[in-house]
Structure 1
């Protein structure tokens, strides 16, 4: 219970919110050069403070191991020299991107003689609630600052020391620049009630971006009183058509499943065309060599005895681990029907040499990202050329797929006249 000396969660958010609003207004009028310089300064500080960041991360990893967190979660949490360098490089890459603010999206002159322009502007204040990955602290802050938005960050308790260490670097870089320090704020403790207060703060926060497990996203989507950019899970599929080159297909499937099994772009279900079943033993060889468990339907198991029996729930499961479900289908229509019934509309793809079959699949599969002859692990803002991403969105309005700089802007109309009055 709050006392006279202990602010309530609502008090804390109501203090942070107005500061974020003021910072957002200042950012919207700032120059690209100032925003870019702040990001480059933060990147330089990240490189200078590698030892401190790794020490903070080691504290998180030790606590996570004591709590019994699994391999996929530990992989998301872990920082090493290469990953810290990737954080710094990510800040610099965002700084190099074109300024998304002020872009003229359209311009026209109707018969009344007015000159009307539609221009990109920042959304305002972004709330980011995330788990596990410390790099999200830097990615989210960089994208928001670059796009002229203020951001309120709330990371997961498993990465609290890493997140705060990265945040301090970012805050110092802003303070040393001409930008408002409140442009990037971090919720001061891990009290879950602060999440609820942030989700209710519609007078201060314009959009919430959750990035984490299904439980987190479900809570955000259920409780938020502001719009949400999110995906619930990444139950991603590849359809292996009989026209695909089998060597290429096996390479792509193995990468999609095993490069990093714990990310939202990882492959979870493989749909194998009846015309490609003969190649399944080669695929199982490649997966077994890397300790991947394969579960399949009766037709898949008939092709290779090493495939375990799939349960009904396997078709709806985001494993985030070295497990792959395989179903054999008769044709592209059956594959698309399976994706429609079981997919999460995150990332789905086709492996095919037949261009007509591939184009029909690309046109008809209703997912945020649809791929042809490519690993689902490319479902990433950095790989799309966005520099970084703040998350993946599977909704239909405004942002869909990787949420990068462009998706963190909205627009307004600038109307210029010469004294017109309306008759």
Structure 2
């Protein structure tokens, strides 16, 4: 597949590039910066480059032909009853004002660190400095290749196919009861469709939030008419004339299906970097400034960085992290001598059946419910590492989560967090009375 070159040229920002005058002894001005990955992290990176006054050549590479768009709405609003409108992050005019060269429609295939060049769609693209933000790719169900009606949700093209199946009244089976699978089931139920979720684990989301919280959140499915089958694997798929007709379970049951959505997790998109010399272990391993080598940085879902807040390697698949990390990586790329550690307290949200689930921090151990209960309509729960609060999970407690996130960043003690939780219980009691 040959890439599509799009030169969106416009006036450069009227911001002086400050570093060459203030530090003439250091080469801080690369002539050509390439960003691989035209999604949120990549877009925020090129925006940051121009905002910081970078005057050089800037290339944004994407494997899809679409301009940058927002991914979270694909499993939520885009599949709803209203006409599907692609959730674009930037228009052609936006990118023209940034003076960005776009290379779309072909994936990066290889990286030569010595020559400082990329292979994209069979063509060589040279760079002075490189930022990799290629994200992650969904795991696929073995044996489903080329079978109509079986899909994952990675990008806009996938969402278009799923929406068309929803419009046709498909019988839906979702494989995997994680956050994405649950959001898709919720969207299908909002359209009045019959939905069954198949989950291999006895309790969904154990690794993400713990057993108690996983059971509490999963109860939302039953309350909203979604059938949830746990502790059973998928044996195979039934098909007729190349189209899926059902899902065959390991216990012998057969679930009729016109649409099978596979949501069994993702893997960082690093296959094209094999043999490049970058350290690859559950992502691109970078230091606390997001630097992988002398000329390469990474950001977003593909980056695994040493977090100074939790003193461990983290790789996050969250919208907030992608946005903040892309901009921070670009800032450090443009001025490595003044690079600063990337500080980020994880945060994400998920919408199921009209409920808002929010999480901040890291899910260490089993959480402690501090507001409401696992069976109430809303609750808050905290995760601890010794006496330190390291994580918070809430259901429909939107006013609490950011306060807990700030506490996690301040290394707040369990005692202080419990005192705050006690002060927040009155609204829920008043509402019940």
TM-score (norm 1): 0.30
Q: Which has the higher contact order (CA 8 A, sep 6+)?
A: 1
Structure with the larger strand share? 2
TM-score (norm 2): 0.30
Structure with the larger helix share? 1
